[in-house]
Amino acid sequence: MRPGCKTFILYTANLLLCTKHYGVLTGKHFFIVITISLFCNAASAQHRVSLSARQITIEEALRKIEAQTGYHAWTEDGVLEKAHKIDIDVNNLGLEQVLEIVFRNQPLAYKVIGQTIVVKLNKENPALLYIKGIVVSEGQPVESASVQLKGSARGVITGTKGEFSLARIPTDTILIVSYVGYQTREVIVGDEKVLQIELFKAAQQLDEPVVIGYGTTSKRTNPGSVGILDSRQIGIQPVTNPLLALQGRIPGLFIQQATGVTDGEVKVSIGGQNSIASGNEPFYVIDGVPFPSATLIQAGGRILVNGSPLVYLNPQDIESISILKDADATAIYGSRGANGVILITTKKGNFGNTKITGYSVIGIARVASKMKLLSTPEYLTMRREAFKNDQTEPDPTVDYDLLSWDTTRNIDWQKELIGRTAYIFQERLSISGRNKQTTYYVSGGYRRETTVFPGTFYNSKGSLHASFNTIGENRKLALNLSVNAALDTKTLPALEPTAKSLTLPPNAPSGYNTDGTFNWAPGYDNPNAKLHQLYKACGNNLIADVNLAYNPLKGLKVKANFGITSTVLKEITPVPVNTINPVLGITTSSSLFANKVVRSWIAEPQFEYIYYLGPGKLTLLTGFTFQDISTNNDNLVASGYIDPSQLETTNGAANIDILDKNSSQYRYFGAFTRLRYDLKNRYIMEVTGRRDGSSRFAPNRQFATFGALGFAWLMMEEPWLKSKLSKVFNFAKLRSSYGITGNDQIGDYQFVDTWQPTTYPYDNRIGLNPLRLYNSEYGWESNRKLNVGFDAALLKNRIQFVISYYLSHSSNQLIEYPLSGITGFPYVQGNLGVIVMNRAVEWEINTLNIKSASTKWTTSLNLTIPRNKLRAFPKLLGSNYAYQYIIGRSLNVFKAFHFLGVNGNTGIYIFEDVDKDGHISFPNDLAANKNVGQKFYGGMLNTVSYKQLSMDIFIQFIKQTGYNYLYGISSMPGMLANQPKYVLSRWQNLQSPGDVERFSQQVNGVTYTAYSNLIASDAVVSDASYIRVKNISLAYCFSGRILRRIRTTQAKLFLQGQNVFTISSYKGVDPENQSINNTLPPLRIYIFGVEITFN
């Protein structure tokens, strides 16, 4: 371009561009333009341009246009630096149109003058902005928040300091700012170019954070099926095992308290029974550390069986519990996810002021349900009638109850043995606060409770929880540390007296003689002496986790999680000689000692990357797991003690025999990844995969791959639906997932072809024999899960509901595969083609019934209808399960003789003679008319608050069949043992037939044979449905005026009750733990306490 020409054009251009609307030209200028146009003799519209490029500068774009059209571009110096890169893809388009595209949204203006394209800074039009901003909450930056342009796919992720920048933003743009756990905000970009956007903690349930495997999400956008219970609902339940707090609250999660003894067994199943022979336990993760939840109890007698070490976690220290149910949520745990995953997150400090909270509780607990037993007159009637029926007389060497004991004595042994009141004391102090970049939360708790048994028994526990979260000065490095430690010590009776309390005759003598010694009256199994055989245990538990995160680049996080767990339990069960009936002739004391140590460590390096890719947001997580669990246990019996005072050491023992001494090691390696793509906040897709290796399998079978696909469609984000339904629906989501998870709960070393020493020496040397077949072939059990759900919120979020359907097929089951004897062994652990199907429909409805300034009432209701079916079982007839299962029926099927009633003529029980051979025999007469399991279950929570008063009532309901009292009691009515009142409706004669067999006390009669058949019949199974007011919590928070007077920030008085009231027609002690082993029924607990917070 010639200089002279340039000057001229510049002048003209200035004239043109300085006009406010350069399309409107004044006469003088118009003239000049016309002149130039004519002079140049060209029509720009005739020039056509093809241009395709990504992220090119304006300068480059203009060069290409110049090359194609022969036009020249003219710019003022430095102007183009202000421009942003562009993406362009045009084909054979007119020059004007192309320029329109090139300069769209640029802070530049252009004009074609002759064959020159004049480009100048658009001073008059501030429409295109380059904005910067930070996202904060409570004064702290929010990292990885999403800032998106409304109506566009453009968006960015905030950096470590909450900062973000967006270029080429037209004015009046709306930004959508969102982050898990916070209310999504829409911000209008005005003139200000530096924005500070404040996010507020989610008030809506839908946006509350939901902890999932290796991350968090929100209910709103999660394509998976996750149940969650928050600290409030955990905290108001006076339970010691956090699992009990979940009872009835989460659809699809079934929890059964097997005993009322604190720290006893709690059975948990997520999504039904998947595995026949391997474990059905969910996978527990506490603050990112997998927790070996298997029981440590070895010598717990019958009082503590299968108690989980999870009781070492103080429920008050828990922030939330997530229950991961479907494949989308669990596949990231791969081989360990088949039975669901329970994630427990403990409390952490926040950026509020330093707070000290004290919590102090006293409470009582009593057995909630008892069985109505025969009184002495009724009992004696039964016994005498039995002798009359048997046409014999009582034997003075056997029938002491009739001939030597006081027949006027009438004792309620349930009251004597399990009828005491247990007292509960609980203290807790927590401190939380912050210090620049650090937040902390420290709490210590102590709990001591006594038992309902007569004697000085107690169970006490101290716990410590600490959490530190710190962020580096430049906010690139973050460190989280969490520690949960607990110590416990308990002294309990070694044997549970519940069974005894149900069977001791009501006229049995007192346990003590007048001089305080034990009463060893003949024929009397002294329960008080048994209660002096103690079970003493002390244990400790440590779970520690360090989580490091480093942000080298915006959107990228490199994380590492290191955790350890250590659980130790020492048990002593002393048996002093004075507690043993002297007629047995034992003259020395003995004691059982057991120690168990479980240690584990885990290391998990991870990478997380968030990026706006194409039209949506991509979140990528990938990581690796290395885990090791070592178990050591020994169990020995020391006997021959002369001095009973030495029973708690092995020193005074004459003999020490090792019952069991074992150590085992388990190692696990996995690589996992989760890819989430979020398109316009409307379509969310998740792909999860995991490759797992476990030492429980032979070297060529150690690795397996699991994965899942999840999809969510947030329907109300669709404009066409929103316009129609937004008056009713605030939110609607359709979600679905499908995937494969695995199960390796088969025990260690099962594949190894180990040899074990022979019992005795041969030729003076110990020999060796193969312990099991060499089996390198078996691999993972796998579980294919399909989940479909619909979540919605309507009427201004006042009603929220969730409907889910899941279907799972558990296959490749590891069971004892029956082999022909030719192989040398009857079974081999193998992946038999057993297929177990579980499906369920789950409902969850939350409603906000009343909300006013002073009153709030919410209800939430959940219901689960589970079904279970054995789809395939090759070689069932040859297996151990031949008499237990039926293909095509539920695993809950109860195969037994079919009870038909009492024969009106003989007074003897009758059963269905399936094979018509004239007598009832195993296995030919087994029938399958009943199931033992749940038809449906659920719960309803009502929370009402009025001014400072709040009340929560939780009702649990279950429709099920279960074992009734006949399952546990093995004495025939008429024998020397008490019976429930039900037996009074017995057959007496033809005129009064009754529904209970005629009384008899003979062991070798037809009556006894029929009775033996009865307890092997389906009569032991009956309805065990119940509705139970599981929890009532009343709290009063003091108002500000009183608080100021007592110089506190918060003060609360509360009264909580557990297992308050039950409606059931169950025939037995308690429909929840049923009569299994006649354990103590769940206790009714009331606690009263105060919680005070100081700033």
Partner 1 sequence: MFRRIVHFAFVISLIFLTNTSCKKFLSVRPPNGQLTTSAIFANDSTATAAILGIYEGLSSESEAFPSGRKSLSVLCGLSADELDNYSGIPDAKQFYFNDISPDNGLNSGIWDQLYESIYRCNSLLDGLSASSKITFQVRQQLSGEALFLRAYFYFYLINLYGSVPLSTTTTYQENDKLQRSPIKTVYNYIKNDLITARQLLTEEYASGRERIRANRSAVNALLARIYLYTHNWEQCITSATAIIGRKNQYQLCGNLTDVFLKNSSEAILQLQPTVPRYNTFDAEVFILNSIPTVVAFRPEFLSVFETADKRMTSWISSISIDNTTFYFPYKYKAKSGESIKEYLMMLRLSEQYLIRAEAYAQLGRVDNANTDINTIRERAGLSPLSLTSIDSTLQAIYKERQVELFTEWAHRWLDLKRTCRADYTLGFLKSPGWRSEDTLYPIPRSEITLNPNLTQNAGY
Q: Which chain residues interact with partner 1 by CB under 8 A?
A: 553, 556, 607, 609, 611, 613, 620, 622, 624, 626, 661-669, 671, 691, 693-695, 699, 702, 748-749, 752-763, 765-771, 773-775, 777, 818-826, 828, 875, 877-878
Residues in Cβ contact with 86 at an 8 Å cutoff, skipping those fewer than 6 apart: 55, 56, 58, 61, 102, 106
CB of 628 to partner 1, least distance (A): 8
Question: How many Cβ atoms from other residues are within 10 Å of residue 372's Cβ?
Answer: 9
CB of 584 to partner 1, least distance (A): 23
* Amino acid at residue number 1076: I
CB of 468 to partner 1, least distance (A): 29
Place of tokens 């950096």: 159
Closer to partner 1 by Cβ: residue 695 or 934: 695
β-strands 72-75, 116-121 pairing: parallel
CB of 163 to partner 1, least distance (A): 17
Q: What distance in Å separates the CA atoms of residue 303 and residue 1079, rounded to the nearest whole number?
A: 8
Q: Identify the bridge partners of residue 811 per DSSP, sorted by sequence position.
A: 782
Q: What distance in Å separates the CA atoms of residue 152 and residue 617, rounded to the nearest whole number?
A: 12
Q: What distance in Å separates the CA atoms of residue 768 and residue 764, rounded to the nearest whole number?
A: 13
Residues in Cβ contact with 776 at an 8 Å cutoff, skipping those fewer than 6 apart: 698, 699, 700, 701, 751
Residues in Cβ contact with 671 at an 8 Å cutoff, skipping those fewer than 6 apart: 622, 623, 624, 625, 690, 691
* Amino acid at residue number 4: G
- Element at 1011 (helix H, strand E): helix 1006-1015
Q: Are 887 and 876 in contact (CB under 8 A)?
A: yes
Residues in Cβ contact with 448 at an 8 Å cutoff, skipping those fewer than 6 apart: 424, 425, 426, 458, 459, 460, 461
Closer to partner 1 by Cβ: residue 662 or 1095: 662
Q: Are 329 and 806 in contact (CB under 8 A)?
A: no
C-alpha dihedral (410, 413, 415, 416), degrees to nearest 10: 100
CB of 589 to partner 1, least distance (A): 26
Closer to partner 1 by Cβ: residue 398 or 771: 771
CB of 607 to partner 1, least distance (A): 6
Largest Cα separation within the chain, whole Å, is: 140
Closer to partner 1 by Cβ: residue 32 or 153: 153
CB of 547 to partner 1, least distance (A): 19
Q: How many CA atoms lie within 13 A of 1035 on its CB side?
A: 22
CB of 776 to partner 1, least distance (A): 10
Kindly report the backbone phi and psi dihedral angles of residue 132, in degrees, each rounded to the nearest multiple of 5, phi listed first: -125, 160
Q: Which residues of 852-888 are buried (b: 16+ CB within 10 A; e: fewer)?
A: eeeeebbbbbbbbbbebbbebbeebeebebeebbbee
CB of 666 to partner 1, least distance (A): 7
Closer to partner 1 by Cβ: residue 295 or 921: 921
Closer to partner 1 by Cβ: residue 222 or 775: 775
CB of 1017 to partner 1, least distance (A): 23
Q: What distance in Å separates the CA atoms of residue 792 and residue 809, rounded to the nearest whole number?
A: 28
* Amino acid at residue number 718: E
Closer to partner 1 by Cβ: residue 84 or 267: 84
Closer to partner 1 by Cβ: residue 698 or 734: 698
Q: How open is the CA angle 324-956-447, to the nearest 5 degrees?
A: 80
Place of tokens 């039900």: 982
Tokens of 1030: 């599981």
Q: Are 400 and 523 in contact (CB under 8 A)?
A: yes
| Start-end of H helices in 335-449 | 376-390, 400-403, 413-418
CB of 626 to partner 1, least distance (A): 6
CB of 397 to partner 1, least distance (A): 25
Closer to partner 1 by Cβ: residue 27 or 614: 614
CB of 749 to partner 1, least distance (A): 5
Closer to partner 1 by Cβ: residue 719 or 767: 767
Closer to partner 1 by Cβ: residue 575 or 704: 704
Question: How many Cβ atoms from other residues are within 10 Å of residue 909's Cβ?
Answer: 27
Mapped onto helix, strand or coil, the DSSP state of residue 795 is coil
Residues in Cβ contact with 896 at an 8 Å cutoff, skipping those fewer than 6 apart: 926, 927, 930, 1016, 1017, 1018, 1020, 1021
| Start-end of H helices in 2-57 | 3-17, 27-40
Q: Identify the bridge partners of residue 753 per DSSP, sorted by sequence position.
A: none
Closer to partner 1 by Cβ: residue 425 or 703: 703
CB of 756 to partner 1, least distance (A): 5
Closer to partner 1 by Cβ: residue 347 or 701: 701
- 261 burial type by CB count under 10 A (0-12 exposed, 13-18 middle, 19+ buried): buried
CB of 343 to partner 1, least distance (A): 24
CB of 659 to partner 1, least distance (A): 13
Closer to partner 1 by Cβ: residue 711 or 749: 749
Closer to partner 1 by Cβ: residue 126 or 824: 824
Tokens of 918: 């004239």
CB of 42 to partner 1, least distance (A): 43
CB of 870 to partner 1, least distance (A): 19
Closer to partner 1 by Cβ: residue 669 or 1036: 669
Closer to partner 1 by Cβ: residue 494 or 814: 814
Closer to partner 1 by Cβ: residue 574 or 742: 742
Residues in Cβ contact with 278 at an 8 Å cutoff, skipping those fewer than 6 apart: 743, 744, 745, 746, 781, 813, 814, 815
